Amino acid sequence: MAEQQVQPLHNEKHADIKIKNGINVEFMKTQHLVPVVAHEFARIANEFPMSFVKNNETGKFQAVAMFGLEPGENLFVEDGKWTAAFAPMASTRYPLGLVKHPEGDQYGIVIDEASPLVNKEEGQALFENGEETAYLQRRKESLVSFIEYSHVTDAFTQFLADKDLLIAQTLTVDIQGEKKDINGIYLIDEKKLNELSDDVFLELRKRGYLAPIYSFLTSTHQVARLARIKSQQA
């Protein structure tokens, strides 16, 4: 895999740069878990199972979509193409990103110059006569949204953790008649959810957390779909 070359975006240095539409399949094909934000849970649940993973150093949880059943496996990349109907924001914002400046709360936009989506021949221009194109402005807005959504999702996830609603789970899938365990993931504990006091349940509703919780719970049925795809590919 080519090294990334992430540079601050500059209207002179990147005057002729264009970005091709699509996903960096080369990078994605080895990703079995990708971070997701609560605002896209409903769409994710139609395609992929979701789970939470725990950072053992910080103890923090992160919501992820599962593209594969083991590390390095993405069942939605076939023959160099992305086959799912939807891709999470975390994967579509590439090759652009936002980086926080060391002083203050300002963000700067960066570009991975080594990305196969970046070239001078085809795609959407980023600058015209030194000015940002409408395309770049739209991309910037979605990068900012992604950061905001990530903060909201962190608060949502922390709330679930604080209320003891995340439970370590082993998922067992059937692949061509062979049982396989997937460890190290956390799911929302539906039993505990149903036993919450009226006060806490009301708080979930007021915070707008019920919709993403139910989307998350629905998504776990997609694990069987991953097992099915894996069997077909085998």
What's the confidence (pLDDT) of residue 233? Answer: 83
pLDDT tens digits along 161-186: 999 999 999 988 888 888 888 888 99
CA pair distance 85, 46, nearest whole angstrom: 9
Mean pLDDT over all residues of the chain?
91
Going by C-alpha positions, the residue among 225, 203, 223, 224 that lies closest to residue 213 is 203
Which portions of the chain are predicted below pLDDT 50? 1
What's the confidence (pLDDT) of residue 1? Answer: 43
pLDDT tens digits along 12-32: 899 999 998 888 888 888 899
Going by C-alpha positions, the residue among 151, 62, 143 that lies closest to residue 99 is 143
C-alpha distances out from residue 154 to 8, 214, 217, Å:
27, 17, 18
Going by C-alpha positions, the residue among 86, 100, 84 that lies closest to residue 143 is 100
Alpha helices in the chain (DSSP H): 25-28, 41-45, 89-92, 134-162, 190-194, 198-206, 210-219, 223-233
Q: Is 86 in a helix, a strand, or coil?
A: coil
C-alpha distances out from residue 145 to 39, 67, 90, 121, 176, Å:
10, 23, 11, 29, 41
What's the confidence (pLDDT) of residue 3? Answer: 67
Paired with 54 in beta bridges are: 61
What's the confidence (pLDDT) of residue 214? Answer: 97
